Chain A
Amino acid sequence: MSGSLNHEKAAEPNLTPMLDMVLQLVMFFMLCANFIAEETNALVKLPDASAARPLDKTQDRTVFINLTYPGNDKFGNPQPETLTFNAGTRKVACSNASILGDELSTQIKLDEVRAQRTEKGKTEWAAGKGRSLVILRADLRHDYKKINEILAAARGAGYTDIQLRAIQKK
């Protein structure tokens, strides 16, 4: 006769579904994470604009110009005003708009060299396309004079299409 065995066993939580849920969460955060972020300087407080269009798929060649306003960062340390030029791997801190203008002139020459390599590029260049996209992220607290210097520097270098970044106001 078989006796009933004493089946005392500590209940084990079923870990497999828990693992599945955790992996779902990890997938979510991985998809939201953006490792190759655009050169966005967190110190720049952008102005609001309701006519601000959503960003198009970023084209290959972009030039970011970040202009911060002197103030304290989140730790309370005073930060000076900075004007940075960032084109892919080239990142230059400019002390004034004319240095920025020089960097932009160098950049447009690089754009031209790149465009002239192919026939399609040559026709595009002649039509006014093929230039890097210049994006200006300037703090809202600045005087317009400073912004105008930067726009004039860009125009002087040959860039006529400039994007001003703003927070989309609903």
Chain B
Amino acid sequence: MHRRGRQQTPATEPDLPITPMLDMSFQLMAFFILTFRPVPTEGQLALVLPSLGQGPPIAKIDDVTEKPDAYTVTVSPTGGIPSDITLLKENELEPVTFKMTPQSQTKAMDDLYAALAKIVKDQKAAKRPVPTLDMQFGDEVRYQFVIKMLDDAKVAGFEKISPNLIGKTKKPAAPPP
């Protein structure tokens, strides 16, 4: 028996026209590539502002919980950059002052951060509650540095931080006698 010469299978005729489909896919891809816009990752700092008529946020005072200390930071700028920062513990008279130097524009802020971190560390070591922080900024402090200082305070460990303008912090209502 002899073999027949096998017929070569003819090349498959495209029932499905792939070439135009590929063209359309390239069109779609071009659209998505051109509209693709990677954005820097945004994060958020959540503030809880006291409602009108109240002072800076203060912890609820239970019988058992100790009242946390309250610190006030006052920031005065030169050309938008914080140059004079004072840190005052409530009921004390002498504030600690940090100043900017010609060599380092961020020295005042860095020193404040170191001081705040130390305060929180000491309070935690003494098993006392974390203090509250009232930050008062001068009118011309650049927002960038306001955020930096709020950020530093959070990283240092403060939880209740309230930003205000200098002099505008409402005193908490005196408790009824």
Interface residues of A, dominant DSSP: mixed
Provide the residues of chain A in CB contact with B5, threshold 8 Å: 1-4
Interface assignment of B173: CB less than 8 Å from any CB of chain A: no
A2 CB, min distance to chain B CBs, angstroms: 3
Interface assignment of B52: CB less than 8 Å from any CB of chain A: yes
Interface pair B32/A29, CB less than 8 Å apart: yes
B167 CB, min distance to chain A CBs, angstroms: 12
Interface pair A166/B143, CB less than 8 Å apart: no
B23 CB, min distance to chain A CBs, angstroms: 10
Size class of the contact patch on chain A: 35 or more
B148 CB, min distance to chain A CBs, angstroms: 7
Task: State which residues 31-72 of B face A: CB under 8 Å.
Answer: 32-33, 35-36, 39-52
A30 CB, min distance to chain B CBs, angstroms: 6
Interface pair B138/A49, CB less than 8 Å apart: no
Interface assignment of B142: CB less than 8 Å from any CB of chain A: yes
Q: Which of B36, B80, B151 contacts A33 (CB 8 A)?
A: B36
The interface of chain B, by Cβ under 8 A from chain A, is 4-5, 8, 11, 18-19, 21-22, 25-26, 28-29, 32-33, 35-36, 39-52, 80, 137-144, 146-148, 150-151, 154-155, 163-165, 168
- 9 example contacts (A-B, Cβ-Cβ < 8 A) are as follows A7-B8, A15-B19, A32-B32, A51-B154, A139-B143, A142-B142, A143-B139, A155-B49, A160-B51
